Structure 1
Amino acid sequence: MRVSTSQFYLQSALLMNQKSADVNNQMEHLSSGKRVLTAKDDAVSYGTLSGFNDDLASIEKYKRNITMAENHNSMQEVIFADAETLLDKFKQDMLLANNGRMSNEDLQSIADQMRHGLDQLIDLGNSQDEKGDYIFSGFQTQQKPFSQQVDGSVDYNGDKGVNELQVAKNIQIPTNQTGDAAFLNIDNAIGDFTATYPTVPVNTSGVAVESANVVDRNTYNVSTGPHTFSFDPITNYLTVTDSTLPIPAVVFPPAPYVAGQTISFDGIDVTLSGNPLPGDSFVINEKQNISIFETLNNAISWAEQGVVSTNQEQHQVDYNTVLDQLSSAMNHIYSRRADAGIRLQALENQQSKHLDVELNISKGKSSIEDLDFAKAISEFEQSKIALTASQQTFSKVQGLTLFNYI
């Protein structure tokens, strides 16, 4: 067979390039410690590894989201813990203020402490995260959620938006609690209504609404509130009327009142405490929720009344109302803190699951792609020998001519 010089050079170059590529490819596998780097190494294994890598990337994204969600919920848990401390101090101040030995100056001092506590609670509601976003504003993270008005009332300026982060394929965890849910929507301690007691004539018996709840919503919805309770000046019979105009309608006809009995009308059940005197009266208005800030303002107002020499009975009724509502507010904050704790626990559990899955995937991935170094080094050495041999052969053969045989 006739071999031209150009053909000889071409074939030699191709052979040496192939051997050199084999050596370089094996060096790449040795340096990476991986058996499968591209699809040509093992198409089936490469496809499996691609799926593993996608799963690991998703887990890494979920772990980042878990860290963010943990940071937000941890911050809220701390804020609610501080709020618990403030509310407990308010309750202790109220208990102290009801001590009959307190002077007007003592009560004013307690009221001043309470007002400072109210300011602190508003500051907690306006807390910001590390980025400067307001925690309790819902989606309006650049909007300061709570603002105090001249009359002491507190307005909510955020919305009801709840942010969520995906922490697993089908699991999303809220990262915030809105300001209205956290500080405004506090269950009314006596139920669905509040009582307004008149100042003329004053409540001298200490009668009070112990509970008032809607038990038949359909009947109540067609009624006309508010409802007025009045005790006849002569017989002391109880009558309940609604606010129908021009003449209020009687919804509970005159009847003797027995202390502690439940009175039912217009789909409402009301239980009173105390022994009313002839001529006593009061009005109930629907109000299912009472904000923490309203409760604290009522506590401050009660303390600022000072030592009351007249109408002690109504003063005590107001005290009991404030104290009961403070307890309701504390229970609400406990539940808000518990919600943050439950979320943190769920995040911790999900993090643990991701770590377990990540470990299993990594083991499976390792079993497919990790290099057998002993075998790889042996093949690498063989490839180097083959490359060296091809180079030496080319070097010797390319220098031969016919004169070598003469």
Structure 2
Amino acid sequence: MRVSTAQFYLQSVQQMSSKAADINEQMAHLSSGKRVLTAKDDAVAYGTLAGYKNDLANIEKYKRNINQAESHNSLQEVSFAGAEDILNDIQQRLLQANNGAMSDEDLQTLAKQVRHSFNQLFDVANSQNENGNYIFSGYKTDVQPFSQQVDGSVSYGGDSGVRELQIAKNIKIPTNQTGDAAFMNVANAIGDFSVNYPTAPAANTSGVAVESANITDRNAYNLGAGPYTFATDPITNDLTVTDSTATVVFPVLPALPAPYVAGQTISFDGIDVTLSGNPLPGESFVISEQEDISIFATINNAIAWMEQGSVATNQEQHQVDYNTILEQLNSSMTHITSRRVDSGIRLQVLDSQKDRHLDLELSLAAGQANIEDLDFAKAISEFEQAKIALQVSQQTFSKVQGLTLFNYI
């Protein structure tokens, strides 16, 4: 068979190019330390590696989300810790104020101290993160959540949006607690109703107080029938309860009015009310539905109680108000503690999930390494063989291409 010079050159170049490509491929494996770089190297292993890499990429994303969630929840936990300290200080001032030996000046001083604590708590509720976003505004992070009105009351301007971040395939965790849930929606200490004790014409001189007032049967509860007025007959001291239309709801007909018996539960319209003390003839009070009371309203009531000083004309009612404020302040402290506990639980979950991700990451990385890591001894041997093959091809081409028929004449 005759081999033309052009065909010889073409075959030689192709062979040397193939050997050079083998060397380049071996060098790529050596420089990367990887056995599988493309699907051509090992199609099955390449597909398995794609799964490993996807899982590891997801873990990296989850770890970033965990760090972000930890930052948000840690900041809120610190804020709640500060709020706990402030409320504890206010409680101590209130306990100190309920002392007959305190002068008006002393009470005014305590009121100023509590006002200062109020302002501190207001600042805590309007806390911002490192980016200047308000942490208690819900989704409205650029809106200051709390503002104080002219009358001293506090209103909430955020929303009830709770942001979540995914920290595992099927696990999401909240990154914030909203301001209304944290500071405004504190459970009413006596239940589902607040009480208004009139000062005239039938002042509460007996010191009777509503100990609890709860809706116990929602089906029987007549929404919109309140407020309810409790009144004792000026002569017989019979107790009756009327709704907003002046309809008698207690006692329920055909039962007749009867004197109040200390400790009895007064039931009507799906509501149970328990009193402490015995109302005097002619006394009355009104209950209105109110399930939640804001922390700021409670502190304002404490300040007003202190500012009233020792000049209260009705000491019995003054003491009833004090007990109500103290109970509600205790409810506020319990509420803030529960908010702080929620943040702490979230941080524990995040810490635990982070450890699980680290363990899984190590396992996946080991599996990935077993498949794609290069056997350097074998790779170097193959690299040297490829070099020798290329050198032989080059030397053979160099010698053969120089031969002519004249060498043999």
Scaled by the length of structure 2, the TM-score of the pair is 0.97
| Matching of residue 319 in structure 1 with residue 318 in structure 2 | no
Aligned counterpart, 1:218: 219
Say which SS state the counterpart of residue 266 (structure 2) adopts: strand
Say which SS state the counterpart of residue 219 (structure 1) adopts: coil
When structure 1 is superposed on structure 2, of 274-283 and 139-148 the one drifting more is: 274-283
Out of 332, 335, 358, the position equivalent to 2:335 is 332
Out of 384, 394, 397, the position equivalent to 1:381 is 384
Distance of 1:41 and 1:266 partners within structure 2: 80
Distance of 1:250 and 1:295 partners within structure 2: 31
Is 2:249–2:268's contact at 8 Å kept on the other side of the alignment? Answer: no
| Matching of residue 305 in structure 1 with residue 308 in structure 2 | yes
Aligned counterpart, 1:109: 109
Partner deviation per Cα, 1:53-94 (whole Å, 9 max, x = no partner): 111111111111111111101111000000000010110000
Is 2:192–2:215's contact at 8 Å kept on the other side of the alignment? Answer: yes
Distance of 1:87 and 1:358 partners within structure 2: 44
Which amino acid letter does the alignment assign opposite residue 52 of structure 1? Y
Aligned counterpart, 2:248: 249
- 5 Å-filtered alignment, 1:4-403, equals 4-200=4-200, 201-221=202-222, 224-244=225-245, 247-252=246-251, 253-308=256-311, 310-403=313-406
Say which SS state the counterpart of residue 90 (structure 1) adopts: helix
Partner deviation per Cα, 1:266-323 (whole Å, 9 max, x = no partner): 1111000012222211111110000111101101110110113531111000000000
Distance of 1:82 and 1:221 partners within structure 2: 41
Is 1:127–1:135's contact at 8 Å kept on the other side of the alignment? Answer: yes
Say which SS state the counterpart of residue 361 (structure 1) adopts: helix
Which amino acid letter does the alignment assign opposite residue 220 of structure 2? T
Distance of 2:334 and 2:164 partners within structure 1: 25
Is 1:242–1:251's contact at 8 Å kept on the other side of the alignment? Answer: no
Equivalent residue pairs, number:
404
When structure 1 is superposed on structure 2, of 105-114 and 214-223 the one drifting more is: 214-223
CA gap 1:208/1:347 in 2 versus in 1, 3 angstroms? same
Distance of 1:260 and 1:290 partners within structure 2: 26
Which amino acid letter does the alignment assign opposite residue 351 of structure 1? K
Is 2:139–2:163's contact at 8 Å kept on the other side of the alignment? Answer: yes
Partner deviation per Cα, 1:85-105 (whole Å, 9 max, x = no partner): 001011000001111111111
Distance of 2:50 and 2:214 partners within structure 1: 61
Partner deviation per Cα, 1:187-224 (whole Å, 9 max, x = no partner): 00000011100111321111000000011112212562
Which amino acid letter does the alignment assign opposite residue 190 of structure 2? I
Is 1:162–1:176's contact at 8 Å kept on the other side of the alignment? Answer: yes
Is 1:237–1:255's contact at 8 Å kept on the other side of the alignment? Answer: yes
Which amino acid letter does the alignment assign opposite residue 154 of structure 1? V
Alpha-carbon distance, 1:250 to partner? 4.6
Distance of 1:219 and 1:46 partners within structure 2: 68
Which amino acid letter does the alignment assign opposite residue 229 of structure 1? F
Distance of 1:133 and 1:223 partners within structure 2: 40
Identity %: 71
Distance of 2:32 and 2:46 partners within structure 1: 15
Which amino acid letter does the alignment assign opposite residue 251 of structure 1? F
Distance of 2:317 and 2:117 partners within structure 1: 26
